[in-house]
Amino acid sequence: MNISAARRVARAGLPTRYGIFEMFVYETPERKEHLALTLGAIDEGGPVLVRVHSECLTGDVLGSSRCDCGEQLDDSLRFLQEEGRGILLYLRQEGRGIGLTKKISAYALQEQGLDTVEANLALGLPEDTRDYRVAAEMLLDLGVRRARLLTNNPAKIEGLERNGVEVVERIPLSMSPNPSNVGYLRTKREKMGHLLPKPVALEVAGGRWGQSPLRRRPDPRQGRIEYSDDLADDR
């Protein structure tokens, strides 16, 4: 493995509506600042629950329903607190690495009928430019060499393992499709290789919006995802 490009530059406690985390800031030579939110004893040698989340201003901050990013961030932070031990890495890779301006330009093309991959290609951009080397470097710096990864994206598993972090388990994240993101989720599954859990994949493929969508419920005792169509105590 090459010399680390990520350098730890700051640390402080972070109380949130989910609970208290320890926050670490890492800086790269490109002057990008990435975050690690940690909870519990993460450097004791056993596999650690990890979520690698790429920045999405529109979903994470503004609550956009075009994607599932904000819901994934929200559920990941809740799951970490319920588990009592783990890490969320927040990578500054807006728009799958193309940046906010180009992402919004791609949105405009999607409004004309292109899907998320076609829109990127029409702008002369790759469908996904994200690099997970920095995520692996951050984990190794924090003493984590084995991860239980919250993800539907095989590229994240490959990216971590290529750079020295063993993924011993993949835990799927499932969101409820909505009319604004059903096409996006279908494209992620069909063109980008995302491993959407079967219940959601069926909902996406069938477009059965009249039925109660299946929602993800983390079971911190067993480290797996359970599903239910009861929405009474969501959020």
**C-alpha angle with apex 85: 79 to 87, nearest 5 degrees?**
75
68 is catalytic: no
Choose the catalytic residue: 60, 68, 75, 128: 128
The single residue of 51, 96, 130, 216 carrying the catalytic annotation is 130
* 3-class state of residue 218 by DSSP: strand
Contacts (Cβ under 8 Å, ≥6 apart) of 8: 24, 25, 26, 141
Q: For tokens 């969508």, what's the residue?
A: 213
**Does the annotation mark 186 as catalytic?**
no
Whose CA is closest to 176, among 67, 61, 58, 56?
Answer: 67
Angle at 167 between CA 165 and CA 169, to 5 degrees: 160
Q: Give the strand order in the sheet containing 166-171.
A: 7-15, 20-27, 33-39, 86-91, 48-54, 146-150, 166-171
Return the beta strands (E) in the chain as ranges. Answer: 7-15, 20-27, 33-39, 48-54, 86-91, 146-150, 166-171, 215-219, 224-228
Catalytic positions are: 128, 130
